[in-house]
Homo-oligomer: A and B are copies of this chain.
């Protein structure tokens, strides 16, 4: 069993906490107001918007050292909804990994709408969580945690692939905002 900290109590934080708990793992849920509570999880999911990552790093970088840190963000420019705000050849995850050199940073959950994590389904298909990162052991642990909660998880490659995962997440958001897909649906991964 893993012990997982979820920082952020929005839709995504709640859905991920539910998934983790369903798998029989223990959850520490931390809200914004819980800045004085220390992180205790072996895995720490930063279920916050991209713009809040810098604050989390500023507050908790030392606590995150030695832990697996999961970035779920889609760094969309919400003013234009026409581009990302991270460098075109980089990713939010690459920035986070640079800011947390003592953590093992993964990308995951950013291609999943909260509803599909809660239901375990994208339409009639099982939800798949795509996980990217450079630490094979960390990826395996997160994949096991997700799978134990009844949701498929797939190793999507190295940390560099966070760039493509953020493109998928962004495209999916534009399709939903444009009413081409429902917020309960989106991209399904058929194996």
Contact = CB atoms under 8 A, between A and B. Distances in A.
Interface of A: 82-83, 87-89, 122-125, 154-158, 160-161, 163-165, 167-168, 170-171, 174-175, 178, 180-182, 185-191
A72 to B, nearest CB: 17
Contact of A190 (B82, B168, B186): B186
A162 to B, nearest CB: 11
Nearest to A174: B157
Contacts of A160: 82-83
Given A156-B180, A181-B189, A187-B189, 4 more contacts: A125-B190, A164-B170, A175-B189, A182-B191
Given A154-B180, A185-B191, A190-B185, A171 B161 contact: yes
15 contacts: A83-B160, A87-B88, A88-B89, A123-B190, A124-B125, A125-B188, A125-B190, A154-B175, A155-B178, A156-B175, A157-B174, A163-B167, A164-B171, A167-B168, A188-B189
A42 to B, nearest CB: 25
Contacts of A155: 178, 180
Contacts of A178: 155, 157
Nearest to A185: B190
B156 A171 contact: yes
A181 B130 CA distance: 12
Most interface-central of A170, A171, A175, A187 (chain B CB within 10 A): A171
Nearest to A181: B191
Nearest to A180: B154
A65 B172 CA distance: 33
A164 B82 CA distance: 11
